[in-house]
Amino acid sequence: MSSLVDIDNLRVSFRQDDGSFTEAVRGVSLSLGREKLGIVGESGSGKSLTGRALLGVLPPYARMSVERMSFDGLDLTSATPRVRRALRGGRMGMILQDPKFSLNPVMQVGRQIVEAIRIGDRRISGAAARKRALAMLEAVQIREPERVFGLYPHELSGGMGQRVMIAMMLVREPDLLVADEPTSALDVTVRTQVLSILDELVTRRGMGLILISHDLNLVSRFCDRVLVMYAGHVVEDLQASHLHQATHPYTRGLLACLPSIDGPLTPLPTLNRDAGWAAS
């Protein structure tokens, strides 16, 4: 089996006030090689929950069922919490959207990166860990790593905070990285840099990447393959370069409602949702 991740029929549901369950992810299957897979969809489509289920970090009140979920040959459905915990950080990493909520507010960011390094390698010396953290900060295009190392999260801009989080995840060089909207807090120019850092890692280290995003154009430019999710289903699975030849009306609708620099000035087409899309 060559694929890094295999998921078959993943379902995630949440209990409602009246005791019934509503499904947020309804039978998602995917397999990932050492490639860049994009998952796109609107808020509420279940794309983030899919990523979280794979990492094993769903909220405790979520109910999950899956027929098969494996990572590099390891069966995740039967893995103990201890094994899953050992995988996270070291072999599977996750980058979340908002650095404001994901960094420890009372710890210098450099020390947070050092902490990540030392959890992975308990014998590394303090000086060596610091050196690696600084090198990593430099690798994510932070101009004065020495100064930024000593800053607290509230002293960073959104873009810098996001790069610090990416540094913290990449410093352990995981085999799989789930990036949940990693660039939506970033400016377009910084975004390109951050994506090229991720791209280099995938190519150089043979890492698998799942990029979760609502930005169709970004995903089609950056990823190899794209899954389009709607209401908990994968409605379309296509090569990223063929995104503009998508056939599903939802994908076509999403593409059509984007304004473009040189586009017409007539009212933007809006999406008419078909009840049938959610049922498939």
Partner 1 sequence: MIEIEHLTVRFGPSIAVRDVSLTVRDGESFGLVGESGSGKSTLLRSIMNLNRDWDGRIAINGLDAHATPRKRLAREIQMVFQDPYASLHPRYVVGEQIAEPMRINRMADIERRTVELLELIGLGAKFRFRFPHELSGGQRQRVSIARALALEPKILLLDEPTSALDVSIQAEILNLLNRLRGELGLTFVIVSHDLAVISYMCDRLAVMRNAELVETLTREALRARDIRSDYTRALVAAS
Contacting positions for partner 1 (CB under 8 A): 42-43, 157-159, 187-192, 214-216, 253-254, 257-263, 265, 267-271
Closest CA to 226 of 36, 92, 27: 36
| Complex with partner 1: residue 25 or 114, whichever CB lies closer | 25
Q: How far is the CB of 271 from partner 1 (least distance, A)?
A: 4
| Complex with partner 1: residue 70 or 183, whichever CB lies closer | 183
Q: How far is the CB of 209 from partner 1 (least distance, A)?
A: 21
| Complex with partner 1: residue 176 or 195, whichever CB lies closer | 195
| Complex with partner 1: residue 1 or 17, whichever CB lies closer | 17
Q: How far is the CB of 171 from partner 1 (least distance, A)?
A: 25
**Residues 16, 11: Cα–Cα separation, whole Å:** 16
Q: How far is the CB of 193 from partner 1 (least distance, A)?
A: 10
| Complex with partner 1: residue 127 or 261, whichever CB lies closer | 261
Q: How far is the CB of 258 from partner 1 (least distance, A)?
A: 6
Q: How far is the CB of 77 from partner 1 (least distance, A)?
A: 32
| Complex with partner 1: residue 107 or 271, whichever CB lies closer | 271
